[in-house]
Chain A
Amino acid sequence: MSENRFPGVDGPLFKRALLGSLSWLSANHEEVNRLNVFPVPDGDTGTNMLLTLQSAVEDIKESNAAEVSKIAKLASHGSLMGARGNSGVILSQIFRGFARAVEGKSSLSPAELATAFEEAANAAYRAVNKPTEGTILTVAREAGRSAAAAASGPDSTVPAVIAAAAAGARAAVLKTPSQLQILRDAGVVDAGGFGLQIILEGMLKTVEESESSLAALAASRPVASPAASQVAVELPEGGWGYCTEFLIEGSNLDLDRIKNQIEALGNSVLVVGEPELVKVHVHTDEPTRVITLAGGYGKLLKLNVGDMSTQHRRILEGAGQAAGAPRSNGVGLVAVVAGKGLVEIFRGLGVDAIVEGGQTMNPSTQDMLTAIESVPYDEVVLLPNNKNVILAAKQVLGLTKKNLHVIETHSVPQGVAAVVAFRGDRPGADNIAAMKAEAERVQTIEVTHAVRDTRSNGLKVKKGDVIGLINDKLEFAGTDYGEVVNKALSKLGADSYELITVYRGEGASDDELQKLESDIRSIHPSLEIEVQQGGQQHYPFILSVE
């Protein structure tokens, strides 16, 4: 009975389900962003997952494939190409596992769908070096288990299996604080897991709508669901420009019209929502024109002006080759870095291509792949320079035919140390060993302000406090840069080191810089201090100690 009413998950249905996920995640990704456990400003899990999912859907948008296997394969490929941030990369692995599980199938029974969910979770576990419970991985697994349980009954239906998966995800998300201390301390659930829950809920909404359409049309095939029709996604062609996001609040808003007009001004256009509230996302070179245009339709909310530049990423081509002539070892260098000064420093050190990105602006696997392909060498070393970029960087390994090495630099100082150790006349393997050794030798202190009240690593932190991280780990909080930096230097035993390089961020004033320098000198007079204009966002100061 039920099988007649809802035949199974075929290509068109899975496509609509994914478009529904995208729509639902785009409406909710800010919620995911807010689940930021760490007091450093890196709350971009929702954005990363949205951009990853958007890339997954870009590939299937034009496909009319009848087989679910074909749609799943396109989604797998697309998500991998657009994977951003850790959660985005894991999401891409979930799609990959799903695609493998449904290979060769034109349509999935409820039981097959449940198995595919379970396989998707397994693939995600396998992709991660040290799987941590209480994260998106756990949520994926629990979703798969619930789906399998729902599929075991004789009257099981596709909507019931998806509903069970979403419910399983939701329950698992709520449990994440009991599994991870950092979530408990911060009083939040896991952001990546929550993102996955939203994706499954988006699927469920679409399928339920399909179901009601089916009922209404008495077993005939439904037309595209309303959720899906509101989604428009475009591949970037002339580069990314500025990422511009906002909500339009108005009445009788014509989504198609707004979408058409915005599409003329940029790409990666996403216009979703209701006639009363529309979410717009666009990559454009002319953000002010987009804003002016949208302002004509209603009141603009949550205009993301700050993110216009942070999301802005470009591949900066070569030009910075210090050595000029091609290198005798035939090895190219690509680095992920943001901030005008830091970009110049890396270029000056001989990096061939720079992918703009870093904290809260994780570049996609595709961005890095493009940069690597642009470099005129068959062997390339990639420096992610941020812990949140490493996983996406490693995905490029499977996508390029070049001999790619990813040196897992967690910070700007580690990246600089690695590049300094690079020599154009030394074979790849020797270079990589030297670069790794130098990156590991340098100590990193990052100084920023807490973006929320939290407890982390045994520290009570108030929103706005100056916080100091040593090698990615929150160690000190206070009210003053000098105080926090000196505590961090003392903890490192700084007097056994020689040189401190201060990379000044765009948020630090001349007075703050001078005071920091004199504060360091007063406690550590034997250390040489070198100041560089880094221009990085979010971190007024990044210090390298070596």
Chain B
Amino acid sequence: MPEAWRQRYDIEVVPLKVLFGEETFRDGVDMNNEEFFARLATSTKLPTTSAPSPGDFAEMYTRLAKDHDGCISIHIARSLSATAEAARIGAQSVEGFRVEVIDSETVSMPMAFLCRVAAESATLDQATGAVGDRIRNCRVLALLDTLRYVEMGGRVSRAQAMIGTMLDLKPLLLMVDGEIKSLDRVRTRSRAIPRMVEFFQKDSPVEHVGVVHAQAADEAEQIAAGLRGKLPGLEVPVGQIGCVLGTHVGPKALGLVYIKK
């Protein structure tokens, strides 16, 4: 979520959590991305992640209820996280406040695109309709530098990624409709990045597109610059992958994320 959008569209964020052993950090609140990846590099044990609690959501909704009638609450795919379920339970404990809990069936910046779509709608109903129409069109193209993190996190098996070998392959994954599937496996980054952009171009046209990265800002900016040249009129924001997603994709992951038209 680009910081500018949070302010421009008045978007509130309930953070997921990352746990290094006994220590719990709220993503982006108690720990920023730099701190996270620095700790990840030196940590002998991989961190784990957890959804916000229903109480976290109840707290947020209670605060919003003071001067709003309702809200749209957009969440990471249910297939990956219990967040949306926590939100649903949290919403039940707030009387007289309408919460439209949305399973975005996606992850990362496309959720920000959906928030923007909602924010640009006139009413909550329109927002819910506009967001609902776009969920099926959200795409996350992810190029991982290694399969290790996503495999440890249990979200993708080696078999799913078509990587059953000791060979260090770079998987190119696509998340769509809440499911992660393997698009390709590539030996080197320099070959993988054009492959990712090529796939994106075949999947055009798009309404929103952005590039996300974990400690790979230069490559992300390069990809974004290339896209801006080809897609005038689109903003193409570059965002950092946070602590929680970073736990599952690992350093040097790159994402090309978009909503198809």
Given A420-B169, A423-B184, A349-B164 contact (CB < 8 Å): yes
User: From A544, which residue of chain B is reached at the shortest CB distance?
Assistant: B187
Given A322-B159, A323-B162, A324-B159, A499-B167 contact (CB < 8 Å): no
Please indicate the chain A residues that have their CB under 8 angstroms from the CB of B44 in the complex. none
Q: Judge if B189 is at the interface, Cβ distance under 8 Å.
A: yes
Q: Judge if A530 is at the interface, Cβ distance under 8 Å.
A: yes
A532 touches B166 (CB 8 A): yes
In the bound complex, what is the Cα–Cα distance between A423 and B190 (angstroms)?
19
A546 touches B166 (CB 8 A): no
Q: Judge if A177 is at the interface, Cβ distance under 8 Å.
A: no
Interface string of A293-325 (1 = CB under 8 A from B): 000000000000000000000000000111110
A416 touches B167 (CB 8 A): yes
A323 touches B159 (CB 8 A): yes
User: From A530, which residue of chain B is reached at the shortest CB distance?
Assistant: B168
The winner among B164, B186, B191 for most chain A CB atoms within 10 A is: B164
User: From B186, which residue of chain A is reached at the shortest CB distance?
Assistant: A420
- Pick from A348, A498, A501: contact of B189, CB under 8 Å: A498
Q: Judge if B158 is at the interface, Cβ distance under 8 Å.
A: yes
* A-B pairs with beta carbons under 8 A, tally: 52
Interface string of A419-436 (1 = CB under 8 A from B): 010011000000000000
In the bound complex, what is the Cα–Cα distance between A423 and B184 (angstroms)?
7
Interface string of B172-186 (1 = CB under 8 A from A): 000000000000111
B162 touches A350 (CB 8 A): yes
Given A322-B158, A322-B159, A323-B159, A350-B164 contact (CB < 8 Å): yes
In the bound complex, what is the Cα–Cα distance between A350 and B160 (angstroms)?
12
Q: Judge if B163 is at the interface, Cβ distance under 8 Å.
A: yes
User: From A349, which residue of chain B is reached at the shortest CB distance?
Assistant: B165
Q: Judge if A417 is at the interface, Cβ distance under 8 Å.
A: yes
B167 touches A348 (CB 8 A): yes
Given A322-B158, A323-B159, A498-B165 contact (CB < 8 Å): no
Please indicate the chain A residues that have their CB under 8 angstroms from the CB of B190 in the complex. 498
B162 touches A423 (CB 8 A): yes
Q: Judge if B123 is at the interface, Cβ distance under 8 Å.
A: no
B188 touches A498 (CB 8 A): yes
B166 touches A420 (CB 8 A): no
B167 touches A345 (CB 8 A): yes
Interface string of A46-85 (1 = CB under 8 A from B): 0000000000000000000000000000000000000000
- Pick from B162, B187, B188, B191: contact of A322, CB under 8 Å: B162
B168 touches A322 (CB 8 A): no
Given A322-B158, A322-B159, A345-B165 contact (CB < 8 Å): yes
Q: Judge if A209 is at the interface, Cβ distance under 8 Å.
A: no
Please indicate the chain B residues that have their CB under 8 angstroms from the CB of A347 in the complex. 164-165
A493 to chain B, nearest CB (A): 15
Please indicate the chain B residues that have their CB under 8 angstroms from the CB of A499 in the complex. 187-188
The winner among A324, A347, A424 for most chain B CB atoms within 10 A is: A324
User: From B164, which residue of chain A is reached at the shortest CB distance?
Assistant: A322
In the bound complex, what is the Cα–Cα distance between A532 and B191 (angstroms)?
21
Given A322-B158, A322-B159, A324-B159, A348-B165 contact (CB < 8 Å): yes
User: From B165, which residue of chain A is reached at the shortest CB distance?
Assistant: A348
Please indicate the chain A residues that have their CB under 8 angstroms from the CB of B191 in the complex. 546
Q: Judge if A344 is at the interface, Cβ distance under 8 Å.
A: yes
- Pick from B159, B165, B187, B189: contact of A417, CB under 8 Å: B187
B185 touches A420 (CB 8 A): yes
In the bound complex, what is the Cα–Cα distance between A416 and B185 (angstroms)?
12
In the bound complex, what is the Cα–Cα distance between A501 and B162 (angstroms)?
20
User: From B157, which residue of chain A is reached at the shortest CB distance?
Assistant: A324
B184 touches A532 (CB 8 A): no
User: From B161, which residue of chain A is reached at the shortest CB distance?
Assistant: A322
| Other 8 A-B pairs with CB < 8 A, given A324-B159, A423-B162 | A322-B162, A345-B165, A345-B166, A416-B167, A420-B187, A499-B187, A530-B168, A546-B191
Q: Which residues of B contact A (CB under 8 A)?
A: 158-159, 162-169, 184-191
Sampled A-B contacts (15; CB under 8 Å): A321-B164, A322-B163, A344-B166, A345-B165, A345-B166, A347-B164, A350-B162, A350-B164, A420-B187, A498-B189, A498-B190, A499-B187, A499-B188, A501-B187, A530-B168
3 pairs of A and B residues whose beta carbons are closest in the complex = A348-B165, A322-B164, A348-B164
